[in-house]
Amino acid sequence: MDFLADGKGLYPHSLKRKVTVITDTICFAFAGRVKDGESLLEDLRVYCKSIGIVTRKQLVDFLEAYDTADFDPQFEFCMVVVEQTDQGNEATILNNENCMIKEAGVFGQLCLLGSGAAAFWRTAQNVVWEASTIPQSPVGYSQVDDLADSFDVL
C-alpha cells in the first residue's frame, strides 16, 4: 500500500460505494457516515421510482422537505440532475452546504466531498494549466501526410 504514509500502520477500512447512478438522469454521491448516505439514497430511489421522470424542481422540493435532523453534521452530498431543454441537455448540481463546488477551469465545476476535499482544492489551485482552446496533435498534419506517403499501399 504505497499510497499511505510509511510507518503509520494505516489501511483502508470499511470502504463503501458512495457514488450511485439512481436513474438515467440522476447521479448521487456522498461523504460521511454510511448510514446517513444509504438512508437518503434509499429514500431517493423510492421517490424517483414512484414518479418516473423526475425534474430538478421535484428533487429540490424533496430535499427541502427531507428530514436530516439525525444526520451527522459533517455529512456531505451532491447530485447531478440532467434535464432536457430546448437547447439540449442541461446538468444541474444539487448539494447540501457541506459540499464544496468549485470552478476549475479545464475541468469545469468540481464537486468536492470528504476529508480530502480541501487539500485537493489547495493543490489544484497551485497547478497552472496551459491548455490551448484548439486541440493540437503532437504530430503536425503535414508530418502525418509525409509519413503516409512513405508507406506502400497494397
CATH code at 38?
3.60.20.10
Pairing of strands 100-103, 109-112: antiparallel
More confident residue, 44 or 9: 44
- pLDDT exceeds cutoff 80 at 72: yes
pLDDT digits (tens, 9 = 90+) for 88-138: 888 888 888 888 887 776 667 777 887 777 777 777 766 655 554 555 444
Reading the block at residue 89, the C-alpha cell is 441537455
Q: How many domains does the chain have?
A: 1
Q: Does 65 reside within a domain?
A: yes
User: What number is the average pLDDT over the span 139-147?
Assistant: 42
- pLDDT exceeds cutoff 60 at 4: no
Across 6-10, 51-55, 70-74, 111-115, least confident range: 6-10
Q: What pLDDT sits at residue 122?
A: 74
Q: Does 142 reside within a domain?
A: no
Full residue range of the structural domain in which residue 96 is found: 19-126
Q: Does 145 reside within a domain?
A: no
Q: What pLDDT sits at residue 59?
A: 93
- pLDDT exceeds cutoff 80 at 86: yes
**102, 109 Cβ separation under 8 angstroms:** yes
Q: Which of 37, 58, 36 is nearest to 49 (CA)?
A: 58
Mean pLDDT, rounded, of the chain: 75
Q: Which of 77, 151, 64, 149 is nearest to 117 (CA)?
A: 77
Q: Does 152 reside within a domain?
A: no
> Rounded CA gap, 29 and 6, in Å?
30
